[in-house]
Copies of this chain bind each other. A is one copy, B any other.
């Protein structure tokens, strides 16, 4: 697990850490029992303040995804989404092929993202309470 923070994105750093951790949980990169990097490690690797990391970890703890034990570290205890259903379904491969094709068509990364959000909104639009996305 390695965090990639975009400092200029406007999204708070501690929130990016939360999002990336949840993403890793969804993708099965992190599983219950796994140890998150220590706050100190993240400070070094992601060039961010220790408090910021702790804040993110505490929020993850509050969400029941993680548990911190002083002197030991922070460990995954919850799961998120359905990462396991992806493996063996071919979904990933198909997406890779599609994205390669999109790229060959001249689409940039951000174009692809915008398209995915747009299609996702339509596809997963079932009475979303309010505020579909960003």
Which residues of A come within 8 Å of B, CB atoms? 4-7, 9-12, 15-16, 19-20, 22-23, 26-27, 62, 80-83, 85-86, 89, 91-92, 94-96, 98-103, 105-120, 122-124, 131-134
Residues of B within 8 A of A62 (CB): 62
* Docked pose: A107 CA to B26 CA in angstroms: 10
Residues of B within 8 A of A115 (CB): 26-27, 86, 91-92, 95
Shortest Cβ distance from A61 into chain B, in angstroms? 10
| A116 engages B95 (CB within 8 Å) | yes
Instruction: Considering the complex, give the chain B residue whose CB is closest to the CB of A107.
Output: B82
| B107 engages A102 (CB within 8 Å) | no
| B113 engages A116 (CB within 8 Å) | yes
| B9 engages A10 (CB within 8 Å) | no
Q: With A4-B131, A10-B11, A100-B123 given, is the CB distance from A85 to B114 under 8 Å?
A: no
Among A7, A27, A92, A95, chain B packs the most CB atoms within 10 A around the CB of A95
